[in-house]
Structure 1
Amino acid sequence: MIRLLLWLLGGVLLGGAIHIVTILTLPLLAEETTWTRIAALEARNSVLVLPQVQPGEPNPLQLDPELTYGLCQVDLAEGPVYLSGTLPDAFWSVAVFDAAGIVTYSTTNRDGIGQTVELGLFNAAQTRLLARQQIDIAEGLLVVEAQSDELFILVRLSPPHEVMRPRFEQELARLRCGPRPG
């Protein structure tokens, strides 16, 4: 009887270990990830206004059809990245994601920022240069240190009425995203 229980316990432990290893390795084997989907949109160092998600249509990025989205893919290995501009007087949020699709920073206009977005993204080495005042930044810039170089920024706007969506999309298109020139 004890031998049978030990075999059963061993089987359960081995099955659990195989299950955990399988669950943890499957995402690494995926050919299509959030990062590859973002890269295919060609939003490198500029804000791309995403088309409105239509109910019932494919939605690979799982976006809310009620919101308007702007997307910018950046690489901090090229230097610090800045997102700047003015957004409409309605709810908006900015989220910074790493290549795995995990949010590393997020803010909204309800954080007391107002309608002007001035965000600087720096990696650890650039933050050290910033601390030594070897990188000049504008006053009022919101400084964010990222743990990885490959990032994408998603700006979400919530138009209060559908008729306002085109104006909100124009505002998104005016945002500047990428390294500062010269």
Structure 2
Amino acid sequence: MKVRSATVPPMKEGRLLGALLYLGGVLCLALAVHIATILALPFLAGEKAMMRWAAFATPGHPGLPPSPTASGTGAPFEDPALVQGLCLFDLSERPFRLDAEIKGMEFVSFSFHRPSGESFYAVTDRAAQHGRIHLLLLDQQQFDDLESDSEDVGTDHTAAAAGEDLRIIAPDQSGFILIRALVTRPSQRDEIKNWMQTIQCRKADEASR
């Protein structure tokens, strides 16, 4: 008795391969659109996002959005996997400083945005030195003045020699810093919110609150 082996006719095999390739292409496109949407949200929200954040921003520390509600209140671009905070900056009088202790965090990012929402710089917790991150935000004139003062006293204040400060030149006098911290388990959310309130964001040389 002969046993017939199960084989897929060439035509059906070709259709199956084509369907798999089509499905793979659709999934890749959907993933690309999802990622692009996430990256574009701050820009699309624009100044409307700044206005909504400003409603609950606190002096000296990141503003934390309330829990999202059916009426749409909450962060302009909420992600359930992240705790978000925001600092509004104004460089019209002096540079702006952000200081944070990075300890036991899975992932933290700091993105710097123009008033339109467009991001002009971003840094993660990997930039921390000795468990802390110090960011100094300046406009071009403030940066040039600081460099000039350093040269007058014979001090090298380049990024490598400036100690723990990471200096960032902003293209605008105002904008916002968006802080995102990854939540790996539900019980961690309140802990991260409390940590977020320990971050100092204020005008340079201004006493911490």
| Structure-2-length-normalised TM-score | 0.63
- 1:21-75 alpha-carbon deviations (Å, 9 max, x no partner): xxxxxxxxxxx72232233334455311223446x66256122121101111110
- 1:83-137 alpha-carbon deviations (Å, 9 max, x no partner): 0021342111001111101111111124x43642211100011000121136x98
Contact 1:44–1:74 at 8 Å: present in 2 too? Answer: no
Partner residue of 1:81 out of 96, 105, 114: 96
Cα 1:97/1:154, change in 2 over 3 Å: same
Greater mean deviation of Cα atoms: 41-50 or 148-157: 41-50
The CA distance in 2 between the partners of 1:89 and 1:38, in whole Å, is 24
- Displaced runs of 4+ in structure 1, greater than 4 A? none
Runs of 5+ consecutive residues of structure 2 not aligned to the other structure: 1-46
Cα 1:53/1:90, change in 2 over 3 Å: farther
Residues 55-70 of structure 1 aligned to structure 2 (within 5 Å): 58=72, 61-70=76-85
- AA of the residue aligned to 2:100: G
Match of residue 131 from structure 1? 147
Local SS of the residue matching 1:154: strand
Number of positions where the alignment pairs a residue of Structure 1 with one of Structure 2: 149
Local SS of the residue matching 1:49: coil
- AA of the residue aligned to 1:148: D
The CA distance in 2 between the partners of 1:149 and 1:35, in whole Å, is 14
Match of residue 146 from structure 1? 170
Local SS of the residue matching 2:143: helix
- AA of the residue aligned to 2:165: L
Contact 1:81–1:178 at 8 Å: present in 2 too? Answer: yes
Contact 2:109–2:180 at 8 Å: present in 1 too? Answer: yes
Local SS of the residue matching 1:35: helix
Q: Considering only CA atoms, is the larger Rg found in Structure 1 or Structure 2?
A: 2
Match of residue 112 from structure 2? 96
Match of residue 16 from structure 1? none
Match of residue 132 from structure 2? 116
Kindly indicate whether residue 66 of structure 2 is the aligned counterpart of residue 41 of structure 1: no
- AA of the residue aligned to 1:74: F
Identity of aligned residues (%): 24
Contact 1:34–1:100 at 8 Å: present in 2 too? Answer: no
Contact 1:52–1:68 at 8 Å: present in 2 too? Answer: no
CA RMSD of aligned residues (A): 2.6
The CA distance in 1 between the partners of 2:68 and 2:135, in whole Å, is 27
- AA of the residue aligned to 1:181: E
Match of residue 173 from structure 1? 197
Match of residue 31 from structure 2? none
